[in-house]
Amino acid sequence: MTEPAENARVLVVGAGQAAGELAGALRAGGHQGPVTLVGSEPHFPYTRPPLSKAYLRGEVDTPELYLRPADFYRDHDVTVHRGVAVEWVDLGGRKAGCDDGSVLEWDRLVFATGGRPRRIADSGLGSAGNVHYVRTIDDVKRLRSTTIAESRFAVIGGGYVGLEVAAVLRGLDARVTVIEAADRLLARVTSPVVSEFFLRVHTEEGVDVRLSTQVEGYQVEDGNVSAVVLADDSRIPVDQVLIGIGMVPNDEVAARAGLDVDNGIVVDEFCRAGVAGVYAIGDVARHPDPLNGGLRRLESMPNAAAQARLVAEDILGRGRRYDDLPWFWSDQYDVKLQAAGSTVGCDAVAIRGDVTSGRRFSVFYLRDGVVRAVDALSSPADFAAGKALIASGAVVPISDLQDPSVPLRKRRSFASEAS
């Protein structure tokens, strides 16, 4: 446990969700020292999940995305440098240099730099004006400024962001084609059962889903992509292109400073980055995986918020290990997916509800008879029960998991009792 540092100068590299949560947690915990956030975007810290949902639909305004009103930072003596990027960090001298020429001193340094959209290899794309990414407020503002209704959109990538955007675009009467190189949607993040479900849902909603499809290049005319060229030399005419092929962690400044970087900034179970007083949190942090061992990097709002609170506690001398259960959600059309746990190493699956025709069911994943993960589709009660079962290490008969008439929240059979 670190010594209390109520008056330490805390510098946060980044000004997104994790940074904003950290600033709030520090002040709520009684930290008296200066807190400074430095972020390259022109906005105060905001939450990103609505970007591909309600914000894209135009249902919320920019200030509604902010974690806290702008006045909060003034009233709580938190300095936010917007539109400024940290370029270098001197770990020994405890200084950081910014692209506006300023040099900031710190006693505690937190990297909350998040990530950026993975860019597609050029393949003729060049600087086409109708190519979009969804990561920032300004990205979505630019997408919203286009004519969406009746426009032809190609969504490259069948992950969660791509599918959420596809769902919103269909709701706005766009014509949407999703192009995915893998043989199923969400191939890297969920089970075939859930993949098949979302394929059915998007097809029912009028999306043209192309699986096992390679993009060979792009036909560009007058500065815009006019068609996506596939590996078989066929072409999909488009008005707009949305790229959703993953995220790259912003770990370059940390790497130049000499921190351990490997697909993110490597941290321990306290989110400490290997140098006294230095931390990393959120999408950029690669932390110990308490469920499966090794290291993992999570790209989720709950993880960012939880790690921010943990680091605030550590700075204040109340450190604890990070062992929160990973969870997240995705909204597509009238379906809310809530997922928790990890499917790594699972050897059995139990489906609860009708997966073939309805839009409400749950999938439980087990390893050696123990519930390890849950995907709940518009089934909040199953999600809550699943999280409790995972946390307790419960052993539940598959027949009970499959039977909607069996109340899962009353199950209290533990692995230790079964051994």
Instruction: Tokens 């989720």: give the residue.
Output: 300
Distance of alpha carbon 79 from alpha carbon 280, whole angstroms: 19
What amino acid occupies position 76? H
Distance of alpha carbon 358 from alpha carbon 258, whole angstroms: 52
Q: Classify residue 240 as left (phi > 0), alpha (psi -120 to 50) or beta.
A: beta
User: Would the CATH topology of 10-116+248-316 be identical to that of 119-245?
Assistant: yes
- CA-closest candidate to residue 27, choices 351, 309, 405: 309
Distance of alpha carbon 166 from alpha carbon 53, whole angstroms: 10
Distance of alpha carbon 9 from alpha carbon 32, whole angstroms: 9
Distance of alpha carbon 188 from alpha carbon 304, whole angstroms: 21
Distance of alpha carbon 22 from alpha carbon 353, whole angstroms: 40
* Domain coordinates in residue numbering, the chain: 10-116+248-316, 119-245, 334-402
pTM: 0.93
Distance of alpha carbon 403 from alpha carbon 406, whole angstroms: 6
Domain 119-245 is found in CATH 3.50.50.60: yes
Reduce the DSSP state of residue 241 to 3 states and report it: strand
What amino acid occupies position 162? G
* 224, 130 contact by CB (below 8 A): yes
Instruction: Tokens 């068609």: give the residue.
Output: 227
Distance of alpha carbon 383 from alpha carbon 390, whole angstroms: 10
Topology of domain 10-116+248-316, CATH: FAD/NAD(P)-binding domain (3.50.50)
Residue 414 has a pLDDT of 40
Pairing label, strands 278-280, 108-111: parallel
The answer to whether the Cα torsion of 332, 336, 340, 344 is positive or negative is negative
Please state, as a whole number, how many other Cβ atoms lie within 10 Å of the Cβ of residue 366. Answer: 20
- What are the Cα distances from residue 376, in Å, to 122, 251, 332, 364, 411? 38, 33, 13, 8, 18
Give me the residues of the chain with pLDDT under 50, please.
Answer: 1-3, 412-419
Distance of alpha carbon 335 from alpha carbon 379, whole angstroms: 9
Residue 122 has a pLDDT of 66
Just give the CATH number of 334-402. Answer: 3.30.390.30
Residue 410 has a pLDDT of 55
Residue 123 has a pLDDT of 60
What's the Rg (C-alpha) of the chain? 23
Distance of alpha carbon 98 from alpha carbon 96, whole angstroms: 7
- Please give the span between the terminal C-alpha atoms of the chain, in angstroms, as a whole number: 35
What amino acid occupies position 230? L
Q: How many Cα neighbours within 13 Å face the side chain of 318?
A: 11
Distance of alpha carbon 128 from alpha carbon 178, whole angstroms: 19
- CA-closest candidate to residue 225, choices 341, 355, 126: 126
Distance of alpha carbon 314 from alpha carbon 316, whole angstroms: 5
Residue 419 has a pLDDT of 32
Residue 416 has a pLDDT of 35
Reduce the DSSP state of residue 309 to 3 states and report it: helix
